[in-house]
Structure 1
Amino acid sequence: MNQSTAVVRNIAKPEETTSYRILFIIGLCHLLNDSIQSVIPAMFPVLEKSMGLSFTQLGLIAFSLNIVSSIMQPVIGLMADKKPMPYALPIGLTVTMFGILGLAFAPGFEWIIASVLFIGLGSAIFHPEGSRVAYMAAGPRRGLAQSIYQVGGNSGQALAPLITALILVPLGQKGAALFTIVAALAVGLLLYIANWYSRKLQETKLKAKVKKVTKQVDKAVSKSVRLALLLILFLIFARSWYISGITNFYAFYAIEKYMLTIRESQLFIFAFLVTGALGTFFGGPLADRFGKKRIIFLSMMATAPLSAILPFVPPAAAFILLAVCGFILMSSFSVTVVYAQELVPGKIGTMAGLTVGLAFGMGAIGSIALGYLADLIGLPLTIIFTGFLPLLGILALLLPSDRKLEEWYS
């Protein structure tokens, strides 16, 4: 075993205990952060009626939110790997708070775009360091820890339909201002997390270790590792496009096909997202037990036949299928983050920013592309096309096994 490998294994070695208190708090903060982000797609039916926006314009709003987060998350993660930034967490939520306030009082399409850019930037600041906190608090249970952290975010996203039905439909656009209270609560909790994070850095001298390991790992990364990383990112692309199609446009499809109201259509999206949050939680422990590659493969391939028949079934069956698809597909969400972190040890923030940020970015590109496609060929055909995206999960068979990853760094 050479010196650089020893250094990698030293930092990759988990702490002896898992700090569940910190994990649950950072998971709650993730929920609050992503519930604010979920306000934006939740407002789509309201904005479509009040401002007369097209599907393409709605896609551009989602694109503006997600592309900033996609670009900035890996950058901030890379910076944090060199110099961890505990107080970036409350700063990020403060930026988000200003964005949601601007969104509530935006007079036109251009102001909405500007406001969601602020929200996207705040999200980009929060996510890589939030994932690092989960990694630091994980102990020997990295899959479970990342699941607790990610299930908070997915639960926040699952609130979007309820936000639409209970707040935005009766109060309209200005109802979004209520979420400044949510942001303020998150800032307070993140100040507590940031203090713990700072003490943890001092105790373990993680700054010096991360800086040293990053330099060593860069020299050790092989062609096989790079190809595996590209493959896992492509799988995230396929999953994100499907999720984007469902969360942004399926409500319109349900309204048109099943003659539902806005509130009724939001229940379908809620079913997809809330079971997705449950799937996120269970996916991590299952990956700890059965292997990350296996869970990534099964999550997409088991979703494929269900998503393909979804557009052709009656409303009751569609509701059930959406719920099952959400659970199965999202079981790999946290697993892909941990897989990437173990694929490139020592770059915790960079890999978290890349994988989660890419999910946002691919969702952004998916939003605008699917919105344009819906305007071009019609919504029904677009939803049918979206249903075949999980079939790309067959490529997960080409990923290196968990044992292979261990051999590369042993």
Structure 2
Amino acid sequence: MSKQVTEQPQSLLLKDKNPISRKTVYPILIAISISHLLNDALQSIIPAIYPVVKDTFSLSFAQVGLITLTFQLSASILQPFVGLYTDRKPQPYSLAIGMGFTLVGLIFLSRAPSFEILILSVAMVGIGSSIFHPEASRMAHMASGGRRGMAQSIFQLGGNFGSSIGPLLAALIIVPYGQSNIIWFSALALLAIILLINIGGWYKRKIRIKAKRPGKEASHAQVLPKKTIIFSVLILLVLIFSKYIYLTSMTTYYTFYVIHKFGVSVQDSQVYLFIFLFSIAAGTIIGGPLGDKFGRKYVIWGSILGVAPFSLLLPHANLFWTVILTIPIGVILASAFSAILVYAHELFPGKVGMVSGLFFGFAFGMAGIGSAVLGGIADRTSIEYVYEICAYMPLIGLITAFLPNIKTRE
């Protein structure tokens, strides 16, 4: 028995009565996914209300980009440090605390009388996100039973589905009745806090089991030279850059694009954004399991480079085909992140929190910087020009060819 425990100590976290069990804990994965859904639904309210606050505060596109930059930087800078700290000292109830920041940010956002208070409000929501993602990703890893790609896909599915319904809820509740109605979304934050406290109780029990049976987490990936690992991480970060610059062009400016180019109403534009974001949610579940079965590299390659034919056509399409093209763009693009994240986990066994924080943080940071830059470009040129230049971003996926093939052993 002692030999088995030494070989697979990470399985101690999965089941109290049978330390070497590697059974996937689906109730916990589903609960974490639901909490991710609530977290990201609340975050997605921010870009969904841009047309409202742009008119209310007479904002330029550059100022809209600054809101996204503030949100994304506050959601990104802390994440690697949160992950590094919780790798050493796990915090079972930190997710509930992070959701508390989001709750306060939403209350401020609903009452913001000025652009400065608006910036402060989105920063609070961003801080809540930075606390949430690294530790939630670790919980998904812990409950995976070895099916790490599948677990990350379930976790991401909740987040992406939440992101998709946020604009729809905003179109129904905020756009017709005004900014003050954001306060109603605080009920979702309270619900998430209750759920996260219960998940934290499960996590705390697993930490106690691990403390009683200490051991170094086993690696399931082949050992790579340090230079190869560093080079691989750089490639992954460039791919994240490509994915999230294009993604932020859609999430931040897609409503303005269809309003300006096709003359649709604000509410209709939110429905079109929902279609795109829902396609992302639908595609999320694909990447992880395919990566488990066929290899992460091939999924990463197909999910970023595969978007290029559709992104190149998008600026030249009419309204009908614009909406249709966003569906394969969302589905294909969505499968990338889970595969990239688990690939990075396999490069750094035992550093799930730090790696998750780094990649979530970098993704959010790139989205924020990209939004600010694209907003400035839109002000100087046009919103249509933004989509013409962003159409080429998925071609960066060609560099996936330089990633090593990581062979895992179960």
Residue 260 of structure 1 is aligned with which of 227, 250, 264?
264
Taking the TM superposition and a 5 Å limit, the aligned residue runs for 1:10-159 are: 11=10, 16-159=22-165
Q: Determine the C-alpha separation between the residues in 2 that align with 1:402 and 1:269.
A: 36
Residue 167 of structure 1 is aligned with which of 164, 173, 177?
173
| Equivalent residue number for residue 3 of structure 1 | none
CA contact (8 A) 1:82 1:207 kept: no
Find out whether 1:344 has 2:348 as its counterpart: yes
What is the deviation of 1:11? 4.3
Q: Determine the C-alpha separation between the residues in 1 that align with 2:204 and 2:213.
A: 11
Taking the TM superposition and a 5 Å limit, the aligned residue runs for 1:240-259 are: 240-259=244-263
What is the deviation of 1:127? 0.6
Q: Determine the C-alpha separation between the residues in 1 that align with 2:263 and 2:353.
A: 45
Deviations 1:119-170 (A, max 9, x none): 1111111111100110010002111111111111111111232023101111
In structure 2, runs of 5+ residues without a counterpart are 15-20
| Equivalent residue number for residue 339 of structure 2 | 335
**CA 1:141–1:220 in 2, change beyond 3 Å: closer, same or farther?**
closer
Find out whether 1:201 has 2:204 as its counterpart: no
| Secondary structure class of the residue paired with 1:18 | coil
| Equivalent residue number for residue 375 of structure 2 | 371
What is the deviation of 1:268? 2.0
Q: Determine the C-alpha separation between the residues in 2 that align with 1:220 and 1:288.
A: 19
Give the partner amino acid of 2:345: Q
Residue 383 of structure 1 is aligned with which of 382, 387, 394?
387
What is the deviation of 1:87? 0.9
After alignment, is 9-18 or 331-340 more displaced? 9-18
Give the partner amino acid of 1:367: S
What is the deviation of 1:174? 0.8
| Secondary structure class of the residue paired with 1:171 | coil
Q: Determine the C-alpha separation between the residues in 2 that align with 1:59 and 1:87.
A: 33
Give the partner amino acid of 2:140: A
Give the partner amino acid of 1:36: L
| Equivalent residue number for residue 18 of structure 2 | none
CA contact (8 A) 1:221 1:344 kept: no
Question: How many residues get paired?
Answer: 397
Runs of 4+ off more than 3 Å? 6-15, 206-210
CA contact (8 A) 2:9 2:218 kept: no
Give the partner amino acid of 1:91: I
**CA 1:388–1:192 in 2, change beyond 3 Å: closer, same or farther?**
same
Q: Determine the C-alpha separation between the residues in 1 that align with 2:214 and 2:82.
A: 18
Q: Determine the C-alpha separation between the residues in 2 that align with 1:201 and 1:23.
A: 17
Give the partner amino acid of 2:118: I
Structure whose residues are more often helix by fraction: 1
| Equivalent residue number for residue 232 of structure 2 | 228
In structure 1, runs of 5+ residues without a counterpart are 1-5
Q: Determine the C-alpha separation between the residues in 1 that align with 2:365 and 2:213.
A: 29
What is the deviation of 1:10? 5.1
Q: Determine the C-alpha separation between the residues in 2 that align with 1:360 and 1:207.
A: 36
CA contact (8 A) 1:11 1:346 kept: no
What is the deviation of 1:267? 2.0
Deviations 1:264-285 (A, max 9, x none): 1122211111110111112111
Q: Determine the C-alpha separation between the residues in 2 that align with 1:379 and 1:207.
A: 57
Q: Determine the C-alpha separation between the residues in 2 that align with 1:171 and 1:401.
A: 53
What is the deviation of 1:378? 1.4
CA contact (8 A) 1:168 1:176 kept: yes
| Equivalent residue number for residue 325 of structure 2 | 321
Q: Determine the C-alpha separation between the residues in 1 that align with 2:319 and 2:278.
A: 18
Give the partner amino acid of 1:22: I
| Secondary structure class of the residue paired with 1:138 | coil
What is the deviation of 1:207? 9.7
| Secondary structure class of the residue paired with 2:189 | helix
Report % sequence identity: 42
CA contact (8 A) 1:201 1:207 kept: no
| Secondary structure class of the residue paired with 2:77 | helix
Alpha-carbon RMSD across the aligned residues, in angstroms, is 2.2
Deviations 1:18-41 (A, max 9, x none): 000000001000000111101100
| Equivalent residue number for residue 396 of structure 1 | 400
What's the TM-score once normalised by structure 2's chain length?
0.92
Q: Determine the C-alpha separation between the residues in 2 that align with 1:165 and 1:114.
A: 23
Residue 197 of structure 2 is aligned with which of 187, 191, 195?
191
Q: Determine the C-alpha separation between the residues in 1 that align with 2:111 and 2:129.
A: 20
Deviations 1:212-264 (A, max 9, x none): 889xx9x9861110110111011001100000001111211111111111111
CA contact (8 A) 2:30 2:154 kept: yes
CA contact (8 A) 1:65 1:364 kept: yes
